[in-house]
C-alpha cells in the first residue's frame, strides 16, 4: 500500500457549491484536505469553514460512543452504553410506540447536516426503514420550499439557469443572496461577466460583503422584493421593451400579469420597499435595454410570508424580456430540479403499509405540542439541530422536553438538541463514509469515497438503520441493501440527462457532469409546466390557495404597522461566514474569529433609542429573546436589524435568533419565515451583565 493516498470526496454541507475535495491520507490518517483543482466549479478551493474539516472531525467534543440519558431532558447528562444495548432499547421502545399508537406516532426528523443521497437528506437515509414502519412522512421544507414552489408554479421546476452561464450575462442582479459568504464559487462566473462588461447589481437590505463589490446596491425592506420587481417591469413595459414574440409563444396569462404590473409604478414601489423611485426607474431602464439579463436569487429572499410569490415574479422578469431564450439570461435559484436521478427507487415509498400523514420540519414545536391522532411519541433527529435551527425555539424546547416522548438523536457533536435525547448515536463524518451528491448550484454529480476508518464507535447513518432493522427482525430485503447497491439503484435512470453517469465513472473520476445539452437553454423547447408555457397565471398556485397571477404578497410582520409600532426593527438572521448553519459553531478557532452573537443597526436608529456601539443588548419580541453585542454601521438600512444564524444556544447565553422567529408558513411551499420577524432592542444594564 502506498504511504500516501489521495482520496476524492464531496463536501456534504447544505451549500449550493457542492464542492469536490481531495483528502490526503498518510499512514491511515487524513492529513490534508483541499478543493479539487480539476472540478470546473470547485476550481481548487474550499471555503473558510471547510478548510477546517479535518480539524473539526478531531475536536475533543466529537461524539464517539452511543449514550443513554441520565439527567433531565435538556440537561445534557449521559452515560456511555454499547451499540447492542442502545439498539435493543430503541427497538423495544419503537415497537411499543408502533403497537400502542401506530406507525404515524414515529417522526423521522431529517435535517440538512449532510445532503448526501446515501447518508443524508437528499435520500433520507433510513427512509426505507421508516416506510416499513408506516412512520409519518417528513417535509424537509426549512430551507428553500417557498422559492421552489414559486418556481414550480411559474417555470415548472426550481431548475433555472446553470450558474456557470451567469458569465454570459450583461446585466447581473444578485437578489437576496450573499454568495461571497454563502457559496463563493459562483463568484468566478460573476467576475467573468464583469470582465466582459456586465453591470452588477446587488439587492439586499444589508450592504454585505457581496454588495460592497457591486456596481450598484439597492436596499429594500425584507420581503418587499416582488413590489420592486413589478415596478422594474412597469418601466420595461412603459418603454415598450417587452418581447412580444416570446410572450405570445411561450407564456400564459400575460394580459392579467400586465394589468398587475400596471398597479406598481415606481412611486408606489418606493413607498413599499423604501428604495427611492428614481433608483427603481434607472434600474428598470437598464433592464429594458440590456440583453441578456441574469438574476441570481437564492434562499435568503424567500424567508418571508410572500417568499413563493417573490420567486414567481422574479422568474417572470425574463418571461417579459424574453431572456429565458438567451444564453446568459434568465434566473438561477437551485439546479436541483435538473437532477434526474431515480429518487423513487431509492426512497421506496411504496413500502409504506398505508398512506401516511406529513409533518412539517419548520413546525417542530407544533408537531410535538399540538398534533394529535396520534401524537408524536417517538422522534428520530437525524443530521439536524432543531433547537438551534428551527423557528420558535421556546416551543421547540417545550416539545422536546415532553416526558412521554422517546427521542433518538444521530449526530457528531453534543448539540443543544442532543441534550434532549434519550439515546444518542454517534455518526461518521463525510471523509469516514461513502456517499453520492448533487450540487444545487451546478450540474455535476459527485462521489464521496471514504478516506479513513471512523473514530471510536461512529457509524454511517445508513448502516445504523440496517442494524436497527436487523435488531427488529424486519424482513423486507431492500432494508439491507449496501451503499453501493443504493447508489446503483439511484443512478438507474433512463432520463437522457443521466446518460453515461455511472457508478464506475463517478468512482474513477470523482465527479461527472450530467448529460445536459450544450449550450444549456433549459426552456428552449418550452417549460415543464402543465401548459408547457411560463405561467404568469398558474392553476397550481391557485390550488395552493395563493393568487393565481404572480404578484406581491406583503411580508407578515415587516409590513404590519401595529406590530411595527411595538417592535421597531425587522430582523434578518442570515448566513455567517464562520459557520454552516449550526455546524462549525463549536469550532474553537472559527468561534474566536466570529465572536459571540452580534446585532447590527444603522447608527441613526440606535441614536434615537439611546443605544451605543459595543453595548450588550436584548433582542426580543412576544415569543422570546436572545442576547447580542450591538454593532452600529451604515451597512444596514434603517428599520432593519441584522444578525446571523447558527450560534449554538448553549454557547451563547441560552438562545439564538430563532427564539424570536415565528412558526408560520410562507404563501407557497410551507417554508419558514426567518427573515420576517419584528423585534425590539433594549440595552442590558451593566450590573445585570455582571451577574451572568
Ligand X SMILES: Nc1nc2c(c(=O)[nH]1)N[C@H]1C(S)=C(S)[C@@H](COP(=O)(O)OP(=O)(O)OC[C@H]3O[C@@H](n4cnc5c(=O)[nH]c(N)nc54)[C@H](O)[C@@H]3O)O[C@H]1N2
**Residues found near ligand X in the complex (CB under 6 A):** 14-15, 111-114, 119-120, 142-143, 175-178, 181-183, 203-206, 208, 220, 222-223, 225, 298-301, 303-304, 382-386, 388-389, 410-413, 415, 427, 461, 572-577, 579-583, 645-646, 657-658, 661, 674-675
346 binds, among Mo ion, ligand SF4, ligand X, none (CB under 5 to 8 A by kind): none
The number of CA neighbours under 13 Å toward the Cβ of 321 is: 33
Report, in Å, the least distance between residue 177 CB and Mo ion: 12
Please select the residue that binds ligand SF4; options are 121, 236, 580, 668, rule is CB under 6 A: 580
With beta carbons less than 8 A apart as the criterion, state whether 91 and 472 touch. Answer: yes
Q: Does 490 bind ligand SF4 (CB under 6 A)?
A: no
Nearer to ligand X, 498 or 574 (CB): 574
Q: Which one, 9 or 322, has the nearer CB to ligand X? A: 9
C-alpha dist (Å) from residue 541 to 170, 312, 554, 678:
32, 10, 16, 28
388 vs 399, which CB is nearer to ligand X?
A: 388
**How near is the Cβ of 270 to ligand X at its closest, in Å?**
15
Among ligand SF4, Mo ion, ligand X, none, residue 18 binds (CB under 5-8 Å by kind): ligand SF4
By rule CB under 6 A, what count of residues binds ligand SF4? 13
Q: Is 17 a binder of ligand SF4 (CB under 6 A)?
A: yes
Binding characters for ligand SF4, 40-69, by CB under 6 A (x = yes): ------xx-xx-------------------
CB of 354 to ligand SF4, least distance (A): 39
Least distance to ligand SF4, CB of residue 185, Å: 6
Beta bridge partners of 78: 69
Instruction: Rule CB under 6 A: say whether 510 interacts with ligand SF4.
Output: no
Least distance to ligand SF4, CB of residue 342, Å: 24
438, containing H or E segment? strand 435-438
What is the rounded distance in angstroms from the CA atom of residue 179 to the CA atom of residue 210?
A: 7
C-alpha cell, 114: 449532510
Question: How far apart are CB 444 and ligand SF4 at their closest, in Å?
Answer: 12
Q: Is 146 in the site for Mo ion (CB under 5 A)?
A: no
- Cβ-Cβ contacts under 8 Å for 191 (sequence gap 6 or more): none
Report the C-alpha gap between 229 and 261 in whole angstroms.
9
* HSE-up (13 A, CA, CB side) for residue 675: 31
Q: Contacts with ligand SF4 in 79-98 (CB under 6 A)?
A: none
Please give the Cα distance from 533 to 81 (Å, whole number): 58
Which grid coordinates are listed for 51?
478548510
Q: What share of the chain is helix, strand, coil (3-state, %, to 5)?
A: 35, 20, 45
The 8-class DSSP code of residue 180 comes to H
* Binding site partner of 17, from ligand SF4, ligand X, Mo ion, none, Cβ cut-off 5-8 A by kind: ligand SF4
Q: Find the part of the chain contacting Mo ion (CB under 5 A) among 8-16, 116-124, 356-364, 382-390.
A: 8-16
Residue 567: what are its φ and ψ, rounded to 5°?
-125, 100
How does 51-61 read in b/e, with b if 16+ C-beta sit within 10 Å?
Answer: ebbbebbeeee
18 in contact with ligand SF4 (CB under 6 A): yes
User: Is-contact 204 219, C-beta < 8 A?
Assistant: yes
Q: Of 213 and 531, which has the nearer Cβ to ligand X?
A: 213
Q: What is the DSSP string of 393-428?
A: HHHHHHHHT-TT-EEEEEESS--TTGGG-SEEEEB-
The stretch among 16-24, 230-238, 413-421, 655-663 that binds ligand SF4 (CB under 6 A) is 16-24
Contact 39/510 with Cβ under 8 angstroms? yes
The option from ligand X, ligand SF4, Mo ion, none interacting with 177 (CB < 5 to 8 A, set by class) reads ligand X
228 phi-psi bin (left φ>0, alpha ψ -120 to 50, beta other): alpha
Which CB sits closer to ligand SF4, 17 or 419? 17
Integer Cα distance of 388 and 100 in angstroms: 31
Span from 14-22, 267-275, 332-340, 629-637 in contact with Mo ion (CB under 5 A): 14-22
Closer to ligand SF4 at the Cβ: 49 or 392?
49
Residue 680 beta carbon to ligand X: minimum distance, rounded to whole angstroms: 17
- Which residue's beta carbon is nearest to the bound Mo ion? 143
> Does residue 143 interact with Mo ion by CB under 5 A?
yes
Length of the chain: 692
- Which residue number, 42 or 677, has a Cβ lying nearer to ligand SF4? 42
Cα gap 145→303, rounded to integer Å: 9
- Torsion on CA atoms 220, 319, 327, 293, rounded to nearest 10: -30
Rg of the chain (C-alpha set): 25
573's contact among ligand SF4, ligand X, Mo ion, none, with CB below 5 to 8 A by partner kind, is ligand X
Footprint of ligand SF4 (CB under 6 A): 11, 13, 15, 17-19, 46-47, 49-50, 183, 185, 580
Footprint of Mo ion (CB under 5 A): 14, 143
Amino acid at each position: 500500500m502506498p504511504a500516501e493516498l489521495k482520496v476524492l470526496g464531496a463536501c456534504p454541507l447544505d451549500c449550493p457549491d457542492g464542492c469536490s475535495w481531495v483528502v490526503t491520507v498518510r499512514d491511515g490518517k487524513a492529513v490534508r484536505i483541499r478543493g479539487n483543482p480539476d472540478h470546473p466549479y470547485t476550481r481548487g478551493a474550499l471555503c473558510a469553514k471547510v478548510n477546517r474539516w479535518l480539524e473539526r472531525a478531531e475536536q475533543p467534543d466529537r461524539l464517539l460512543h452511543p449514550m443513554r440519558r441520565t439527567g433531565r431532558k435538556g440537561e445534557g447528562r449521559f452515560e456511555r452504553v454499547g451499540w447492542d444495548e442502545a439498539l435493543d432499547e430503541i427497538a423495544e421502545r419503537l415497537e411499543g410506540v408502533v403497537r400502542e399508537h401506530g406507525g404515524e406516532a414515529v417522526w423521522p426528523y431529517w435535517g440538512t447536516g449532510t445532503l448526501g443521497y446515501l447518508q443524508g437528506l437528499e435520500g433520507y437515509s433510513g427512509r426505507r426503514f421508516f416506510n416499513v414502519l408506516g412512520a409519518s412522512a417528513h417535509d424537509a421544507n426549512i430551507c428553500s420550499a417557498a422559492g421552489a414552489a414559486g418556481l414550480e408554479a411559474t417555470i415548472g421546476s426550481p431548475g433555472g439557469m446553470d450558474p456557470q452561464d451567469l458569465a454570459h450575462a450583461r446585466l447581473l442582479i444578485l437578489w437576496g443572496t450573499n454568495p461571497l459568504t454563502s457559496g463563493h464559487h459562483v463568484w468566478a462566473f460573476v467576475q467573468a461577466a464583469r470582465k466582459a462588461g456586465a453591470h452588477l447589481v446587488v439587492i439586499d437590505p444589508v450592504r454585505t460583503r457581496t454588495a460592497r463589490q457591486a456596481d450598484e446596491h439597492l436596499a429594500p425592506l425584507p420581503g418587499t422584493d416582488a413590489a420592486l420587481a413589478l415596478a422594474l417591469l412597469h418601466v420595461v413595459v412603459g418603454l415598450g421593451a417587452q418581447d412580444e414574440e416570446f410572450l405570445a409563444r411561450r407564456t400564459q396569462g400575460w394580459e392579467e400579469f400586465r394589468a398587475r404590473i400596471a398597479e406598481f409604478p415606481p412611486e408606489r414601489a418606493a413607498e413599499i420597499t423604501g428604495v427611492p423611485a428614481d433608483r427603481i426607474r434607472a434600474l428598470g431602464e437598464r433592464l429594458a435595454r440590456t440583453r441578456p439579463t441574469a438574476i441570481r436569487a437564492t434562499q435568503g429572499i424567500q424567508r418571508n410570508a410572500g417568499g413563493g410569490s417573490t420567486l414567481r415574479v422574479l422568474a417572470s422578469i425574463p418571461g417579459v424580456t424574453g431572456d429565458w431564450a438567451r444564453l446568459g439570461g434568465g434566473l438561477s435559484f437551485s439546479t436541483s430540479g435538473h437532477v434526474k436521478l431515480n429518487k423513487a427507487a431509492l426512497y421506496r415509498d411504496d413500502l409504506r403499509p398505508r398512506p401516511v400523514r406529513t409533518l412539517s420540519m419548520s413546525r417542530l414545536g407544533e408537531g410535538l405540542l399540538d398534533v394529535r391522532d396520534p401524537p408524536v411519541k417517538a422522534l428520530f433527529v437525524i443530521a439536524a439541530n432543531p433547537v438551534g435551527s428551527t423557528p420558535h425555539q421556546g416551543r421547540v424546547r417545550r416539545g422536546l422536553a415532553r416526558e412521554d416522548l422517546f427521542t433518538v438523536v444521530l449526530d457528531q457533536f453534543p448539540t443543544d438538541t442532543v441534550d434532549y435525547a434519550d439515546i444518542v448515536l454517534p455518526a461518521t463524518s463525510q471523509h469516514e463514509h461513502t456517499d453520492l451528491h448533487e450540487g444545487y448550484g451546478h450540474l455535476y454529480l459527485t462521489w464521496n469515497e471514504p478516506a479513513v476508518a471512523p473514530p471510536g464507535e461512529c457509524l454511517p447513518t445508513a448502516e445504523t438503520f440496517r442494524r436497527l432493522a436487523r435488531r427488529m427482525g424486519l424482513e423486507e430485503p431492500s432494508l439491507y441493501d449496501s451503499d453501493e447497491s443504493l447508489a446503483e439503484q439511484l443512478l438507474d435512470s433512463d432520463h437522457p440527462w443521466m446518460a453515461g453517469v455511472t457508478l464506475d465513472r463517478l468512482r474513477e473520476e470523482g465527479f461527472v457532469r450530467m448529460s445536459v445539452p450544450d449550450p444549456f437553454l433549459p426552456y428552449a423547447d418550452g417549460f415543464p409546466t402543465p401548459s408547457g408555457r411560463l405561467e404568469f397565471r398558474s392553476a397550481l398556485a391557485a390550488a395552493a390557495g395563493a393568487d393565481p397571477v404572480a404578484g406581491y404578497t406583503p411580508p407578515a410582520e415587516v409590513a404590519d404597522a401595529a406590530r411595527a409600532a411595538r417592535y421597531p426593527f425587522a430582523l434578518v438572521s442570515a448566513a455567517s461566514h464562520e459557520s454552516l448553519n449550526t455546524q462549525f459553531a463549536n469550532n474553537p478557532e472559527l468561534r474566536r474569529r466570529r465572536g459571540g452573537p452580534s446585532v447590527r443597526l444603522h447608527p441613526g436608529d440606535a441614536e434615537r433609542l439611546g443605544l451605543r456601539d459595543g453595548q450588550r443588548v436584548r433582542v426580543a419580541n412576544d415569543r422570546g429573546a436572545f442576547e447580542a453585542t450591538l454593532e452600529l454601521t451604515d451597512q444596514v438600512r434603517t428599520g432593519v436589524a441584522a444578525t446571523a444564524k447558527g450560534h449554538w444556544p448553549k454557547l451563547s447565553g441560552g438562545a439564538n435568533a430563532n427564539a424570536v422567529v415565528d412558526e408560520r408558513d410562507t404563501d407557497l411551499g410551507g417554508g419558514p419565515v426567518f427573515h420576517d420577524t419584528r423585534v425590539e432592542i433594549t440595552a442590558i444594564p451593566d450590573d445585570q451583565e455582571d451577574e451572568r
